[in-house]
Amino acid sequence: MSELPLDAYYDLTQIGEVAVSPAGDRVAFTATEYDQAADEAVSSLFVAPTDGSRDPHRLTSASGASAPTWGPDGDRLAFVAARERDAEKRVGWRDRDDEEADGAEGEESEGDADDESADGDGEEPLGDDGEPKPQVWVFDLALGGDARQVTERDEGVAGFDWSPDGDRLVIESRDPTDEESEYLDQVREEGGPIETTRLQHKVNGAGWTDEVTRYLFVVDPDDPESDPRRLDDAYGGGAFEDVAGMDPTWGPDDRIAFTSCRLDRPDDTTVRDCYAVSADGGDAERLTGGDLSHGAPAWHPDGDRIATVASDPDDPPAPAEVYLVDAAGGEADGGDADDRDAPTSLTAALDRTVARGGGIEWVDESIYTRIADESHTRLIRVETDGTAERVFEAQGRDRAMAGFDVADDGATAVTVLSEPETGTDLYAVDVADLNAAGDGSRAGDDAASDGSRAGGDAASEPDSFRRLTRVNESLVDEFAMPTARRVEWESAGWTLDGVLYHDPDVDPADGDHPLVVAIHGGPMSYDEPVFSFGHAALTSRGYLVFRPNYRGGTSRGREFTAELTGEWGTAEVDDIAAGVRSLADRGWVDPDRVFGHGFSYGGIAQGFLVTQEPDLFTAAAPEHGIYDLRSAFGTDDTHVWLEAEFGLPWENPEAYDSSTAVLDAGNIETPLLVMAGGEDWRCPPSQSEQLYVAARKQGVDAELVVYPDEHHNIGDPDRAIHRLEKILGWYETHDPAVEAAD
């Protein structure tokens, strides 16, 4: 077994957003690569033919390229980027011993590193750090050449869409008043004090919030010098708008749909309503009832209906569902809004949530979206009468669907599939074949007598199914990626499941393997077999990686999710501990070599496990977690969510205390590597400090690692590598087998 070098992280490519051209002949997608010299992630834009006839073509290496959107003619492709310089040859892991022969392959001169000529004249509006602000750029793929900048907003562009005839764009942008601009300059350029009256005073990833209003503007992409026309009544609002945006979507009847919260206290709720406004301006019309959080609006081709994904902010365990919104006529067109039908859920009978990031794709009278279903992300087709059918059985259960898009003509779909051993890539399939016969499994996926399900080759796939990319081909060819199998166990009357990863040359049944228990975040989420560099780093070093789907997660209905609502540190502790013991009882795992791992709620769960099950983990590495719920309230950005789940801490202190791990810190015996982001406003670093100090106070071996400037993630590749080095080192330091060998 050869270990995966952690520096190979620089050779990793991760696919992001996907957009199929109107005619279905091409697909645009973003992919994140890693520049070792600059130590940064580089998000690039690619285009590939959907017939699989050639490899993807790199259009740009623009910094932060996102939101690829085809013009209706199919010849123009718009995207958002803060463009600086081309980075085509500055990605990849370059200090490998076997690639030194020819010297400077892939390297660039110091002068090239500062050259802005490839991506513009450097005159764009600058952001907080002196970098250009995100703007809309357009490629004319018929004429060729570089992308052309079509917006120049001082505050950048957060979202956009094409008009149906392609002669205009609607963009979403902040529009500060003179007084607000002065304040922003003082804060950004002079380090002035933060002044706010907003309840949602900070948001993870956006930082401190302000009073600046977002508006929609109509732009002529062929005349960038013309002034954008602001739609004065199309403005935003809401607690998380700084990261969620307004979802501007141009309809077929020259109306634009968007989301906003205009309730009396917009920062005190996650309600988002769907609105429609004429592209010529005038009053915006609210189409929804002020009680749900609507997002991802998608117009039906006839313009009288909009489908959204919506959830109930006052009912945290309730699934997110597909809603049909009546958008016909209304006040803006001389109609009566009171005659409008109330939004109706089309998927309520499923008792399954729309998967995170699952959008809406109309094909004639049908809607395609992704749902979380039995620890699996899969595709469904929903009819407007509320009939829903699971489709694309050929996907099987040993690979995850990370993205999906359909051409405007409704004939071709592209999906992003993630397989543990072969990577995450794009695949095309004819929409007509999404209902192709399949047995709902993949070869080798039958239940085993030991309660596991082994993955295998694809089940019968339709003839039109074709792979379009192999973005990590060199990585998976050189280094062994883990095999994944599903495992089951019993806990509290439930039959639970999880995913077990192991090196392909390792048989778990050989016994006494070290185990890493990797706990998913959320907790309203779930684990399924996926491609993961982190998993491979662990399995190539002899660990089994166990990802348990505990109660409180999604994919198995409201009742399953509600088991943990308002009662953190209960069901998940029992379920995870039972899963570990079931693996030990099978003889697969050495119970003295079990290690904790997990980010966000995965870190939170470890806090409960080391205080309630002190003998379970040999060592643990809780990351970016919350361990004192009372002190988290108001110092993180989730006060609305916490109130919905626990009430207010001064009104219901018992609920907060019962879900606070640090109050039982006297039970900690497990060595802890506690990790945090210096600007994580989802799980503030002060939370990790509390857990760390509590352990050290008792003489427990503990270390605190804080990554300055990082939010609720780890972004820079050198820090991602450092994180893995620290975790692996922590496990090795406390592994009794390593100590015995020494």
pLDDT of residue 436: 64
Strand partners, 609: none
Residues 6+ apart with CB under 8 A from 249: 161, 256, 257, 258, 297, 298, 299
Does 436 share its domain with 413?
Answer: yes
Sheet holding 619-623, edge to edge: 452-454, 483-491, 494-502, 544-549, 513-519, 589-599, 619-623, 672-677, 702-707
pLDDT tens sequence across 279-293 = 999 999 999 999 999
Does 459 share its domain with 494?
Answer: no
Q: Vertex 19, ends 285 and 383: CA angle to 5°?
A: 60
What is the total residue count of the chain?
A: 742
CA 581, 585, 590, 592 dihedral sign is positive
3-state helix, strand, coil in the chain (%, to 5): 20, 30, 45
What total of structural domains would you count in the chain? Answer: 3
Residue 189 placed within a domain: no
Residue 612 placed within a domain: yes
Residue 84 placed within a domain: yes
Does 126 share its domain with 5?
Answer: yes
pLDDT of residue 585: 97
CA 614, 615, 618, 620 dihedral sign is negative
Give average pLDDT by consecutive 10-residue segment, the chain, 742 residues: 91 96 97 90 95 94 84 96 58 52 34 34 51 92 92 95 97 97 93 94 94 97 90 97 95 97 97 98 97 97 96 97 90 55 96 95 96 97 96 94 96 97 97 70 40 51 94 96 98 97 96 96 97 98 98 97 97 98 97 97 98 98 97 96 97 97 97 96 97 98 96 91 97 90 66
- Pairwise CA distance, residues 529 & 396, whole Å: 11
Does 555 share its domain with 675?
Answer: yes
How far the first Cα of the chain sits from its last, in Å, is 21
Does 654 share its domain with 667?
Answer: yes
- Pairwise CA distance, residues 565 & 641, whole Å: 11
Asked if 422 contacts 399 with a C-beta cutoff of 8 angstroms, the reply is no
Does 548 share its domain with 447?
Answer: no
* Chain-centroid distance, C-alpha 419: 17
φ/ψ region of 206 (left if φ > 0, alpha if ψ in -120 to 50, else beta) reads alpha
Residue type, 91: V
Q: Tell me if the bond preceding 523 is cis, omega within 30° of 0.
A: yes
pTM of the model: 0.91
Does 565 share its domain with 468?
Answer: no
According to DSSP, residue 551 is labeled B
Can you tell me which residue has the tokens 């106070």? 697
Does 595 share its domain with 723?
Answer: yes
Reduce the secondary structure of 574-585 to three states and give it as a string: HHHHHHHHHHHH
CATH number of the domain within which 667 lies = 3.40.50.1820
Residue 196 placed within a domain: no
Q: Vertex 189, ends 186 and 193: CA angle to 5°?
A: 40
Give, in order, the Cα–Cα distances in Å from 711 to each of 505, 599, 677, 741: 37, 12, 5, 39
Which two tokens mark 731? 């496990």
- Pairwise CA distance, residues 185 & 174, whole Å: 15
Residue 347 placed within a domain: no
User: Among the three residues 427, 455, 478, which one is the final residue of a domain in this structure?
Assistant: 478
Residue 523 C-beta-side C-alpha neighbours within 13 Å: 32
Does 474 share its domain with 526?
Answer: no
Does 513 share its domain with 409?
Answer: no
* Chain-centroid distance, C-alpha 741: 41
Residue 516 placed within a domain: yes
Residue 255 placed within a domain: no
pLDDT of residue 92: 63
Asked if 497 contacts 549 with a C-beta cutoff of 8 angstroms, the reply is yes
Residue type, 107: E
pLDDT of residue 104: 33
pLDDT of residue 740: 73
Q: Vertex 576, ends 516 and 606: CA angle to 5°?
A: 65
According to DSSP, residue 691 is labeled H
What is the span of the domain harbouring residue 451?
359-478
Element holding 345 (H helix, E strand): strand 344-345
Does 383 share its domain with 528?
Answer: no
Residue 421 placed within a domain: yes
pLDDT tens sequence across 321-379 = 999 999 996 554 444 456 788 999 999 999 999 999 999 999 999 999 999 999 999 99
Beta-strand relationship, 293-299 and 305-311:
antiparallel
Does 464 share its domain with 502?
Answer: no
pLDDT of residue 549: 98
Give, in order, the Cα–Cα distances in Å from 334 to each of 285, 328, 610: 12, 11, 63
Read off φ and ψ for residue 478, nearest 5 degrees.
-85, -35
